[in-house]
């Protein structure tokens, strides 16, 4: 249990031994959470109590905002910070360094020990959001001609520095991946058994340049704890572990939520209104111009409105229904794309299903509106038909727009989440008003 008051008191009083005893009784996540809550002054005391290696363990469990790493590292002595980064798992150290500017990154790599710096530099050159950028090089591999006895010796030697040992990867003389053997198989086999006899040669792997979202999907589909990463020739470069994939899923979900809301980065905790406004303004300005198109469209139907002012009453209803239907279809399609449920052969089925959904919801809503308008507006069946048919047509078109727009964007390798809720809603406002006033203008003689 986290006794924060006791930890702060021992830290403030320089009771180093007592602090270390209490601190290391905590779960690693609780240690990181406590560290993050401290003031910069108290964090400086922690650096006196913990070695760079112990601090590395804290940083690996740190759930900090991206922009917080730079000021936190600046609190430390440069050599201490470099030593700490060098003791972290390579992929975690790369994640932290990627949040710094190039000068700061180069500074830490220069004073870091050569072996750690080389491992980090090897990962830094991979493109961001690819398998190479999230893999770790701390894994266990064994030669294919090994026996279980020699494999266990290798495992015991490398396990302290490996990120996971549940899978041991088997390589040939050219360092190419040829199989995988589980820890269970190693433990339950006799010492003289050849690895080739117990390994599985049907290994699922990913390429170093694969998108991290596709990697996450592969790991989810196969329920792996670790996934090997290969170059184009089949050489084993590293592995991706399930904890990294959880971070990817969280990052991708936050990114999609941000785009669906028309916000640059919903996961960022902006400390000033100016910074928050700066991120949101681009979308709002774009939507403002689209809104101006809606206003201009209404102006073109001014004569129709003057002849029958009651038409204005139902503008919010029709536009709102169309916007909601479009957003629902958008959410369904984006989820299908994100989870990989969309395949070439199922695309048209999805479009047909959404069109059918729009037809059913539009017909039901239209019939209800016809009845309500007929009873509320002195028995005007024509006016009820106008509103009902407008809702029917608007919901069909809005549902198709909500499904087709992200599919088209996906086809051209554009993130479909960019087709955000506000964007689809505004587009459907334009379409629904055009439908509503178009029908009203065409059949005005029946309405007045």
Domain boundaries, the chain: 4-127, 141-253, 273-447
Confidence label for 412 from pLDDT (cuts 50, 70 and 90): confident
Confidence label for 112 from pLDDT (cuts 50, 70 and 90): very high
**What is the pLDDT at residue 132?**
92
In this prediction, residues 22-35 reach a mean pLDDT of 91
Q: What is the rounded average pLDDT for all residues in the chain? A: 85
Q: What is the pLDDT of residues 129-139, one digit of tens each?
A: 899 989 999 99
**What is the pLDDT at residue 200?**
93
**What is the pLDDT at residue 84?**
95
Q: Rounded to whole angstroms, how far apart are CA atoms 4 and 435?
A: 62
Asked if the model's pLDDT at residue 258 lies above 80, the reply is no
Which residues, at least 6 apart from 348, have a Cβ–Cβ distance to it below 8 Å?
none
Asked if the model's pLDDT at residue 269 lies above 90, the reply is no
Q: DSSP for 355-420?
A: HHHHHHHHHHHHHHHHHHHHHHTTT-HHHHHHHHHHHHHHHHHHHHHHHHHHHHHHHTT--GGGS-
**What is the pLDDT at residue 237?**
94
DSSP percent split of the chain into helix, strand, coil, nearest 5: 70, 10, 25
Q: What is the pLDDT of residues 317-339, one digit of tens each?
A: 898 888 888 888 888 887 777 66
- Strand order through the sheet with 141-143: 141-143, 167-171, 177-182
Of 147-161, 188-202, 339-353, 364-378, least confident by mean pLDDT is 339-353
Asked if the model's pLDDT at residue 299 lies above 80, the reply is no
Asked if the model's pLDDT at residue 417 lies above 70, the reply is no
* CATH superfamily to which 141-253 belongs: CBS-domain (3.10.580.10)
In this prediction, residues 224-252 reach a mean pLDDT of 88
More confident residue, 375 or 148: 148
Task: Write the DSSP symbol of residue 64.
Answer: -
**What is the pLDDT at residue 50?**
94
Phi, psi (deg, nearest 5) at residue 376: -95, -20
**What is the pLDDT at residue 254?**
64
Confidence label for 271 from pLDDT (cuts 50, 70 and 90): low
Of 137-146, 185-194, 227-236, 381-390, least confident by mean pLDDT is 381-390
Q: Rounded to whole angstroms, how far apart are CA atoms 263 and 279?
A: 7
Asked if the model's pLDDT at residue 42 lies above 60, the reply is yes
- Label each residue of 289-330 as H, E or C: HHHHHHHHHHHHCHHHHHHCHHHHHHHHHHHHHHHHHHHHHH
**What is the pLDDT at residue 250?**
75
**What is the pLDDT at residue 339?**
67
Asked if the model's pLDDT at residue 445 lies above 70, the reply is yes
Q: Rounded to whole angstroms, how far apart are CA atoms 97 and 215?
A: 22
**What is the pLDDT at residue 268?**
53
| Contact between 410 and 337 (Cβ < 8 Å) | yes
User: How large a percentage of the chain has pLDDT more than 90?
Assistant: 40
CA-atom Rg of the chain in angstroms: 30
In this prediction, residues 234-238 reach a mean pLDDT of 94
Confidence label for 19 from pLDDT (cuts 50, 70 and 90): very high
Residue 238 to residues 24, 90, 200, 241, Cα–Cα distance (Å): 30, 10, 18, 10
Q: What is the pLDDT of residues 187-197, one digit of tens each?
A: 999 999 999 99
The matching CATH number, chosen from 3.40.35.10, 3.20.20.70, 1.10.357.20, 3.30.70.1290, for 273-447 is 1.10.357.20
CATH architecture, domain defined by 4-127: Alpha Horseshoe (1.25)
DSSP H helices, 13-146, are 16-23, 28-37, 40-49, 52-60, 69-75, 78-87, 90-97, 102-111, 114-124, 131-134
């Amino acid at each position: 249990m986290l006794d924060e008051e006791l930890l702060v008191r021992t830290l403030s009083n320089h009771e180093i031994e007592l602090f270390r005893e209490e601190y290391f009784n905590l779960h690693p996540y609780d240690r990181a959470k406590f560290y993050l809550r401290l003031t910069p002054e108290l964090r400086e005391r922690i650096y006196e109590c913990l070695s760079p290696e112990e601090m590395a363990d804290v940083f690996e469990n740190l759930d900090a905002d991206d922009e917080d790493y730079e000021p936190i590292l600046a609190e430390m002595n440069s050599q201490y910070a470099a030593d700490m980064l060098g003791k972290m798992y390579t992929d975690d150290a790369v994640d932290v360094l990627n949040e710094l500017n190039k000068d700061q990154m180069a500074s830490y790599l220069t004073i870091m020990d050569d072996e750690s710096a080389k491992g980090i530099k090897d990962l830094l050159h991979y493109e961001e959001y690819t398998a190479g950028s999230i893999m770790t090089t701390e894994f266990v591999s064994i030669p294919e001609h090994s026996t279980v006895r020699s494999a266990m010796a290798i495992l015991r030697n490398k396990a302290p520095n490996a990120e996971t040992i549940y899978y041991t990867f088997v390589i040939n003389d050219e360092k190419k991946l040829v199989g995988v053997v589980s820890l269970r198989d190693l433990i339950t086999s006799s010492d003289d058994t050849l690895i080739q006899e117990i390994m599985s040669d049907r290994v699922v792997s990913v390429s170093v340049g694969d998108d991290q979202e596709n990697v996450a999907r592969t790991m989810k589909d196969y329920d792996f704890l670790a996934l090997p990463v290969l170059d184009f020739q089949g050489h084993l470069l590293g592995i991706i572990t399930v904890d990294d994939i959880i971070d990817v899923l969280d990052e991708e979900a936050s990114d999609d939520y941000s785009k669906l809301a028309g916000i640059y980065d919903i996961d960022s905790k902006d400390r000033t209104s100016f910074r928050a406004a700066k991120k949101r303004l681009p979308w709002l300005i774009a939507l403002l111009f689209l809104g101006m198109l809606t206003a201009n469209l209404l102006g073109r139907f001014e004569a129709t409105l003057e002849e029958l002012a009651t038409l204005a009453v139902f503008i919010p209803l029709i536009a709102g229904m169309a916007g909601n239907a479009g957003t629902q279809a958008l959410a369904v399609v984006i989820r299908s794309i994100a989870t990989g449920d969309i395949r070439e052969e199922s695309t048209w089925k999805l479009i047909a299903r959404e069109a059918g959904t729009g037809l059913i919801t539009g017909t039901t809503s239209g019939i209800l509106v016809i009845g309500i308008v007929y009873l509320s507006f002195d028995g005007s069946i024509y006016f009820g038909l106008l509103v009902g048919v407008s809702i029917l047509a608007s919901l069909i078109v809005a549902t198709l727009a909500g499904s087709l727009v992200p599919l088209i964007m996906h086809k051209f390798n554009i993130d479909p989440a960019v087709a955000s809720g506000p964007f689809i809603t505004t587009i459907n406002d334009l379409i629904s008003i055009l439908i509503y006033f178009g029908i009203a203008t065409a059949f005005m003689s029946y309405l007045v």
